[in-house]
Structure 1
Amino acid sequence: MKMKLFPRIFLYTFNMMLLISILAHLLLFFIAPYQNVLITNMSVTNVGAIALSEIDMPQLITNTIIKTFPISLIGCIMISLVFSYIFSKRITTPILLTVNDVKQMANMDIKAQCRVKSPDEIGFLATNINALYQSLLTTIHNLEQEKEKVSLAEREKLNFLRAASHELKTPVTELNATLENMILCIGDYSDYETYLPKCKEVTEQLGIMIKDILNTSRLQMEASNEKSEEFVLQELLLEICEPYKLIAQIRGIRFHTIISGKTVMFAPVQLLKKAISNILSNAVNYTSVGKNIFVTIHSDFLTVNNECTPLSDEQLQNIFEPFYRLDYSKNQNTVGNGFGLYIVETIFKKLKLDYKFIPLENNDGMSFTVQF
Structure 2
Amino acid sequence: MKTKLFYKIFAFTFGMMLLITVLAHVLIFMIAPSENVLITSTTVTNEDVLAFSEVDMPQLITQTILKSFPLSFACCMVISLVFSFLFSKGITGPILSISTSVHQMSKLDRTAEISVISTDEIGGLANDINSLYQSLLVTIRNLEEEKDKVQLVEKEKIDFLRTASHELKTPVTELNATLENMILKIGEYSDYESYLPRCKEITEQLAEMIKDILNASRLQMQMEDVPVTTFSLAECVSELCEPYRLIAETNGLRFQIEIIEDMSVRLPENQLKKALSNILSNAVNYTEAERHIKVKLEKSVLSIQNECVPLSPDELQHIFEPFYRPNRARDPANGGNGLGLYIVKTILDKQGLQYCFTSMKSKTGMEFVIYF
Structure 1 length-normalised TM: 0.91
- List alignment gaps of at least 5 residues for structure 2: none
TM superposition shift of 1:146: 0.9
Shift of 1:57: 3.7
The 8 Å contact of residues 234 and 260 in structure 1, kept in 2 or not, is answered as: no
Cα 1:39–1:309 shift into 2, 3 Å:
same
Residues 32 and 58, structure 1, Cα contact 8 Å, conserved in 2:
no
The runs of 4+ residues in structure 1 deviating greater than 4 Å are: 43-47, 49-52, 330-333
Aligned twin of 2:166: 166
Structure 1 alignment gaps of length 5 or more: none
Q: Distance in 1 between matches of 2:318 and 2:235?
A: 32
Displacement of 1:67: 1.4
Task: Specify the alignment match of 1:39 in structure 2.
Answer: 37
Give the match for residue 310 of structure 2. Answer: 310
Instruction: Provide the C-alpha distance between the structure 2 equivalents of 1:200 and 1:86, rounded to a whole number of angstroms.
Output: 96
Once the two structures are superposed, residues 139-174 of structure 1 have per-residue CA deviations (whole angstroms, 9 ceiling, x without a partner) of 112112111211211111111111101001111111
Considering only aligned residues, what root-mean-square deviation do their CA atoms show, in Å? 2.4
- C-alpha distance 3-223 of structure 1, shift in aligned 2 (>3 A): closer
User: Partners in 1 of 2:331 and 2:24 — Cα distance?
Assistant: 112
Structure 1: distance between partners of 2:35 and 2:280: 117
Partner amino acid, structure 2, of 1:42: T
Matched ranges for 1:219-368 at <5 A: 219-329=219-329, 334=334, 336-362=336-362, 364-368=364-368
Q: Distance in 2 between matches of 1:331 and 1:77?
A: 100
Answer with 237-246 or 16-25: which moved more.
16-25
Matched residues, number: 369
Equivalent runs, 1:118-157 vs 2, <5 Å: 118-157=118-157
- Paired AA for residue 297 in structure 1: L
- Kindly tell me: are residues 23 and 3 of structure 1, through their superposed partners in 2, closer, same or farther at Cα, counting changes over 3 Å? farther
Identity of aligned residues (%): 55
For 2:347, the aligned partner's letter is: I
Instruction: Report if aligned partners of 1:257, 1:296 keep a CA contact under 8 Å in 2.
Output: yes
The answer (yes or no) to whether the contact 2:229–2:267 under 8 Å persists in 1 is: yes
**Does 2:200 correspond to 1:195?**
no
Which whole-Å deviations, capped at 9, do the CAs of 1:45-85 have from their partners, x for residues lacking one? 868466463x4444333322221210110010111122112
Per-residue deviation, 1:287: 0.3
Farther off after superposition, 111-120 or 42-51: 42-51
Aligned residue for 1:334, secondary structure, equals helix
> How far apart in 1 are the matches of 2:61 and 2:328?
122
Q: Which residue does the alignment assign to 1:213? A: 213
Q: Counterpart of 2:105?
A: 105
Paired letter, 1:78: V
**Partners of 1:133 and 1:200 in 2: how far apart?**
65
Q: 1:251 to 1:257 in 2, by over 3 A?
A: same
Secondary structure class of the residue paired with 2:40: strand
**Structure 2 CA distance for partners of 1:332 and 1:308, relative to 1, 3 Å:** farther
How many Å separate the matches in 1 of 2:99 and 2:3?
Answer: 16
> 2:333 & 2:258 partners in 1: Cα distance?
28
CA distance in 2, matches of 1:85, 1:196: 102
CA contact (8 A) 2:3 2:92 kept: no
- Length-normalised TM-score, structure 2: 0.91
Contact preservation (8 Å) 1:286, 1:332? no
Q: Decide whether aligned partners of structure 1 residues 220 and 18 sit closer, same or farther in structure 2, where only a CA change above 3 A counts.
A: same
